[in-house]
Amino acid sequence: MRRYLKKATCQGSISFDLFLNLTKYLRKERDFVPLTVAYRAFNYLYEMLVLHETHDLMKKYVRNLINDSYQAVNWTTATSYENHLTKRQAVIAVVAHMILDLPPALDYLTFEAYGCTDRMLIKKHGIPTSLSRTVYCTAVRWGGAKEWDFLHKLRREVLHEDEKYRIIEALGCTRDFGRLRLLPLRILFKAIEKRRIIIEALPIQNELRDMYNALKDDPERQTARSIARILIQCIRDKYWLSKYRGVIYNWLKRQNL
């Protein structure tokens, strides 16, 4: 059925209204694979509609779709190793809820729930690896300077590269944009203090201008093909928006969100 639906949608043999109506079944969906596919599809719609008034309505609709699944997530589900896909489904529900800009409904998603003032307490409570990115991001997003500083310090202490990458991702979840803008400068100045030679490697405006002129005057074939693909995709996106944004907007308005 799903394969037929995908094929029919791509070929235009079913209307976009019907396709949107069929997404309502996701409210009762609990399997990892269809939730993941839907999660990626709606992320694409968010990007396409970001400058259109449909964007907020779409978020409200998805919020209603995943609310039951999100509320069903608990600590036992997140830490269970009996069913890997069930655990992954829980992660999808939580992360999708965070993208919708909603505060966490589960206490275990905040550092305060653990009293995490040092690294040992995190080890004691054993945050699952599959949820560490979610825990970090939620704490930084809905916490404050204390949580951000704690995580920034933890970044320098962890040895595992995957965990360090999750922490770096989570630091970007902060709502304190002033702190976020200063972070690259802090990192750069500290690096310069340790290695003075790094100054010679910094990009210079003249060098960037020369690089731009070289590409403009005699573009390499690979670069030209890449630019052409980008332009073609932009044309396709514009056509898609002109054809479907009104349909999506009118359908969402009829849902009385």
| Average pLDDT of span 70-85 | 55
pLDDT in tens, 163-209: 888 888 888 888 777 777 777 777 666 665 665 544 455 555 566 56
Residue 205: exposed, middle, or buried by beta-carbon count in 10 A (0-12, 13-18, 19+)? exposed
Average confidence (pLDDT) over 72-90: 53
Q: What pLDDT does residue 250 have?
A: 92
Q: What's the pLDDT tens digit per position in 134-170?
A: 777 777 777 777 778 888 888 888 877 788 888 888 8
In the predicted structure, residue 90 carries a pLDDT above the cut 80: no
257 vs 37: CA distance, rounded Å:
23
- pLDDT averaged over every residue in the chain: 68
> Mapped to the 3 state alphabet, what secondary structure does 179-225 carry?
HHHHHHHHHHHHHHHHCCCHHHHCCCHHHHHHHHHHHHHCCCHHHHH
Find all residues with CB under 8 Å of 23, minimum gap 6, and list them.
38, 65
- Residue 82 CB partners (closer than 8 Å, separation 6+): none
Q: What is the mean pLDDT of residues 101-125?
A: 41
Put residue 158 in one of left, alpha, beta given phi > 0 → left and psi -120 to 50 → alpha.
beta
- Report yes or no: 8 and 23 within 8 Å, Cβ to Cβ: no
Domain locations along the chain:
1-102+244-256, 105-179
pTM of the model: 0.49
